[in-house]
């Protein structure tokens, strides 16, 4: 046990032990650690595929259909991986070079077929077959995450054109009108780690806490705050991000309504339309509802879980805010992944 590790980390490792592995194994088991996150936009963001239109999906909530905004799982994992690889280059380059030897470790890359396949990040997030012919399956499962409100309530269009230094110029083909998700937009999100070690769970939590940009690699837009609302360990996988988002919208719509009212269902649907077109949503209230929604859905799906509350999660994040603590966690993980990464 490292001298840098704090009390909450030790307690967390002990408590989560039945749902994690001592070291990564090649044969899958049924160990799941789900992290409930509320992603809150702190500035306008572009989440598009074509660079113009906001990613969206038509979903059914209660008795209505609505088009909502969408943040692809791939955009989330790519951003988290970039952050994780950058952190490794900062903290454990010397340690990785000692393990690899020869010319040392050059730092892992996001290039699909050029990942080092020797670092903790590759072991956890996976990689395609490299020159050595090893393919590593990711043990981090991301859902697509959806907005609670309707697309037209949370997206604006802004004119953009190529900059120039003339006072007057003709319109050019460079002018475009891309969609921006408004600041304050909320994305309830569930990310699940399967058959992870305790160190890998802590590594993921630290990356999520650090990361503040999602979307395309070169995006200059979209400051994001990740609120970690809870950690849930189980031998069954928990609810999806979409299920949680729907449950939040329904909970908001049902507030103040009488279930005994013969027109209850009709009134819920009417309130749903109002909720989904609100100008803003109160973040603190949504955080509490998201926690209740995840736990209620888990109970309905007969999932027994070990819970770490938002306060407990915050204490863990506080204890791993120091780079030296994170380095200690990564060094511990380096010693555990050698056999797992061999062909």
Inside any domain, residue 263: no
Residue 220 has a pLDDT of 59
Residue 20 has a pLDDT of 98
Inside any domain, residue 82: yes
Residue 289 has a pLDDT of 98
Whole-structure pTM value: 0.91
Q: Tell the residue number behind the tokens 């609505």, with chain if given.
A: 66
Q: Which residues contact 103 (CB under 8 A, 6 or more apart)?
A: none
Inside any domain, residue 168: no
Number of folded domains that form the chain: 1
Residue 218 has a pLDDT of 52
Inside any domain, residue 260: no
Inside any domain, residue 342: no
Inside any domain, residue 124: yes
CB burial of 286-304 (b: ≥16 within 10 Å; e: otherwise) equals bbebbbebbbebbeeeebe
State how far the Cα of 239 lies from the Cα of 257, in Å rounded to an integer: 26
Residue 173 has a pLDDT of 54
Inside any domain, residue 39: yes
Neighbours of 323 (CB within 10 A): 13
Helix, strand, coil shares of the chain, percent, nearest 5, are: 40, 20, 40
Q: Burial of 307 by CB count in 10 Å (0-12 exposed, 13-18 middle, 19+ buried)?
A: middle
Inside any domain, residue 268: no
Residue 1 has a pLDDT of 44
Q: Report the chain's terminal Cα–Cα distance, integer Å.
A: 29
| Residue 154 domain boundaries | 7-161+174-245+275-334
What residues of the chain score a pLDDT lower than 50? 1, 3, 159, 164
């Amino acid at each position: 046990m490292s001298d840098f590790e704090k009390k909450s980390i030790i307690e967390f490792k002990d408590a989560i032990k039945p749902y994690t592995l001592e070291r990564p194994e090649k044969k899958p088991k049924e160990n799941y650690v789900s992290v409930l996150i509320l992603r809150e936009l702190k500035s306008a963001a572009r989440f598009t595929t074509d660079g113009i239109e906001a990613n969206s999906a038509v979903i059914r909530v209660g008795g209505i259909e609505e088009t909502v905004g969408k943040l692809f799982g791939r955009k989330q994992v790519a951003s988290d991986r970039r952050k994780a690889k950058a952190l490794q280059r900062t903290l454990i380059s010397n340690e990785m070079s000692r393990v690899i030897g020869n010319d040392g470790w050059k730092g892992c890359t996001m290039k699909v077929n050029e990942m080092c396949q020797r670092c903790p990040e590759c072991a956890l997030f996976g990689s395609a077959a490299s020159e050595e012919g090893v393919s590593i399956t990711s043990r981090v499962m991301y859902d697509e995450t959806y907005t609670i409100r309707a697309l037209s309530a949370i997206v604006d269009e802004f004119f953009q054109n190529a900059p120039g230094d003339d006072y007057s110029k003709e319109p050019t083909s460079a002018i475009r009108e891309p969609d921006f998700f408004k600041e304050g937009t909320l994305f309830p999100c569930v990310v699940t780690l399967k058959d992870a070690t305790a160190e890998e769970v802590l590594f993921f939590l630290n990356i999520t806490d650090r990361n503040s940009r999602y979307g395309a690699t070169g995006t200059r837009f979209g400051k994001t705050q990740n609120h970690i609302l809870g950690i849930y360990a189980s031998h069954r996988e928990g609810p999806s991000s979409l299920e949680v988002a729907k449950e939040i919208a329904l909970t908001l719509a049902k507030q103040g309504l009488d279930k005994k009212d013969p027109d209850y269902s009709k009134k819920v649907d009417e309130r749903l339309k109002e909720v989904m077109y609100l100008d803003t949503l109160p973040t603190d209230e949504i955080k509490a509802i998201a926690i209740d929604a995840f736990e209620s859905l888990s109970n309905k799906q007969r999932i027994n879980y070990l819970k770490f509350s938002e306060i407990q999660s915050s204490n863990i994040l506080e204890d791993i805010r120091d780079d030296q603590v994170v380095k200690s966690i990564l060094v511990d993980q380096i010693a555990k992944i050698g056999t797992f990464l061999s062909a």
